[in-house]
Structure 1
Amino acid sequence: MTTRTASLADRAVFRIGYGALQLERLRDRREEAVALLRRAVELGVDHVDTAEFYGFGFVNDVIREALRPEDDVLVVTKVGAEPDPGGRLPLRLAQRPEQLRAGVEDNLRSLGVDRLAVVNLRRLDTGPGLRPEGDQVVDLDDQLAVMTALRDEGKIGAIGLSSVTLAGLRRALPAGIVCVQNAYSVVSRDDEDMLRLCAAEGIAWVPFFPLGGAFPGLPKATDEPSVHAVAESLGVTPSQVGLAWLLHHAPNVLLIPGTADVARLEANMAVGGITLDASALSTLDGIESRSGEVPIGRPETARPGS
């Protein structure tokens, strides 16, 4: 890796952050959830990814308790969905402008802040999972209008996009996009052109599902013989190799692996010290990208990233 930090919203952050979705697995062990997040900060995490709909507000509540002003952690949240406890999935889309505004207000309240540093607009135009239908099919320009208004009001510091197409990102560039979150891994690399555009524009690339396989039918990095071979040669785990490849692949990549386990958290943070030589990178770059649409379903909650 050329550097241990990258830019996010005009701030240098450690390239390995923490995706807080998995904290909801500790709902009945709140003290453990707080301790896990404190441990992440001790290990150098200064970038946490969250959403009000993670754990129906539980995750944001833990973040509010665990993080202190002196930690100086950049908390990135998202809008575009809302909790749906009785639904087939635990959330439903909330794409209309008034719903995006309500989502920002909900995050402000649950995090206990007056301003959200970065808010990702989750479009769901690409990648696995839900697709908007009916009144949830909203023009990107209408959504960006309310997001920029919220920024002008001081409630948002910066705007990101999630599950967006290359054409969508190009349309959104004049709004001042600071990060893109799309599903992306060594086994799922359809967005190479978008990654290059982000690098050219100084936009952080924050892949979710960084090891693939979050939905049934999607390829998993840890199933690849090449990943196992590189891991064995380095004395690390296949998961660590999959994450390390992302850091080596482009300098604007930021990782947000998620876990509810302290040992795995420490293993994820150790990825920053893994060096992949030219031979290892060539081997991993040669893995076939097998991205594709899959039936909508519930993601595997144990998969790193969110």
Structure 2
Amino acid sequence: MSSPSSDRPVAASGTFALGGDLPVHRLGYGAMQLTGPGVWGEPEDPDEAIRVLRRAVELGVTFIDTADSYGPFVSERLIREALHPYADDLVIATKGGLTRSGPDDWRPVGRPEYLRQQVELSLRHLGLERIDLYQLHRVDPRVPLADQLGELKLLQDEGKIRHIGVSEVSVEQLKEARGHAEIVSVQNLYNLADRGAEDVLAYAEAENIAFIPWYPMATGRLARPGGPLDAAAKQHEATAAQLALSWLLRRSPVMLPIPGTSRVAHLEENLRAASLALTDEEFAALSDAV
């Protein structure tokens, strides 16, 4: 008989408790790529999208990140179709605050009435009575942050949101946000090749706030033939993307990478990073390469 760890290999990535009370496996799945081109419309292969979601959970993913703007709402509806009723340990995180008028078009809207409307729609599309983690997708510069997070705090008080997160913020914005609501996660661009959010990660780690790096598998020139990532990948008989994910998991205990894909084979490849352990020397070499 196979062991639980072999049945659900993602468990090897370790766990993190969102808000101190909501444990998830640290290697999750980002559901943006389940939509059509430009993160717009239906996927080219809806059946494969369903298979990806179900396979992710089979392999031990307990944290799935999506947003109302993916599609819009296409990703959320696919998640419900594939996984509802949800497993007890599965956390579905979604986001609101970006509107869409077409492929690759993203515009922040943080008016309180709009955010309330989007929370209600996400509850309906996901088939939930409460969203475990709801993230402000972008800060709308035209609306006071107090008003944006204040509305999410009201929704939390009403029992429609369990925990609140923010996305693409500076340390100063994160500190301000924490003055209006308890913030349990921050989602910023961060990967091995682009560490511009290093200060936000450091603050999140110090405060035990989950750091969810989007675009986690970017490797840039590090994966060039003969480069440090290429050499480590050959040593581990792994892909550059797997090494990049392994580096993120090693980088900080609050790191929750969410690699996305629309293909089962690619999903399985990505999730094998959970059990890929870098040596101290390999981690240092990759860390110093940029």
Judged with a 3 Å threshold, the aligned counterparts in structure 2 of structure 1 residues 220 and 142 are, in CA distance, closer, same or farther, namely: farther
- Matched AA of 2:67: A
Give the aligned length. Answer: 271
Aligned to 1:216: none
1:154: Cα distance to partner?
1.0
Aligned to 1:98: 113
Matched ranges for 1:71-150 at <5 A:
71-72=87-88, 73-85=90-102, 89-123=104-138, 137-150=142-155
How many angstroms apart in 2 are the aligned matches of 1:123 and 1:28? 28
- Matched AA of 2:94: T
Aligned to 2:15: 5
Matched residues, percent identical? 39
Asked whether the equivalents of residues 138 and 168 of structure 2 are also in contact (C-alpha less than 8 Å), the reply is: yes
TM-score, normalised by the number of residues in structure 1: 0.83
Q: Unaligned stretches of 5+ in structure 2?
A: 1-10, 37-41
What do the CA deviations read for 1:46-104 (whole angstroms, capped 9, x no partner)?
Answer: 1110112211222111111111335231000001112312xx73443222222211221
The answer to whether 1:48 aligns with 2:55 is no
Matched ranges for 1:258-277 at <5 A:
258-277=260-279
- Matched AA of 2:74: F
What do the CA deviations read for 1:112-132 (whole angstroms, capped 9, x no partner)?
Answer: 2221111111225xxxxxxx5
Judged with a 3 Å threshold, the aligned counterparts in structure 2 of structure 1 residues 58 and 230 are, in CA distance, closer, same or farther, namely: same
How many angstroms apart in 2 are the aligned matches of 1:2 and 1:49? 19
Judged with a 3 Å threshold, the aligned counterparts in structure 2 of structure 1 residues 221 and 94 are, in CA distance, closer, same or farther, namely: farther
What do the CA deviations read for 1:126-177 (whole angstroms, capped 9, x no partner)?
Answer: xxxxxx5xxx522211211111011111111110010001001111224111
How many angstroms apart in 2 are the aligned matches of 1:58 and 1:284? 37
Asked whether the equivalents of residues 13 and 274 of structure 2 are also in contact (C-alpha less than 8 Å), the reply is: no
Q: Unaligned stretches of 5+ in structure 1?
A: 125-131, 214-218, 289-306
Asked whether the equivalents of residues 13 and 25 of structure 2 are also in contact (C-alpha less than 8 Å), the reply is: no
Aligned to 1:18: 29
How many angstroms apart in 1 are the aligned matches of 2:224 and 2:210? 28
Asked whether the equivalents of residues 7 and 252 of structure 1 are also in contact (C-alpha less than 8 Å), the reply is: no
Asked whether the equivalents of residues 204 and 211 of structure 2 are also in contact (C-alpha less than 8 Å), the reply is: yes
Structure ranking higher on relative contact order (CA contacts 8 Å, 6+ apart): 1
How many angstroms apart in 1 are the aligned matches of 2:54 and 2:224? 32
TM-score, normalised by the number of residues in structure 2: 0.87
Aligned to 2:6: none
Q: What SS class does the counterpart of residue 55 from structure 1 fall into?
A: coil
Select the residue among 228, 232, 235 that pairs with 2:234.
232
How many angstroms apart in 2 are the aligned matches of 1:18 and 1:220? 25
Select the residue among 160, 164, 167 that pairs with 2:169.
164
Q: Aligned-pair RMSD on alpha carbons?
A: 2.1
What do the CA deviations read for 1:255-281 (whole angstroms, capped 9, x no partner)?
Answer: 110001111101111101111111101
The answer to whether 1:39 aligns with 2:55 is yes
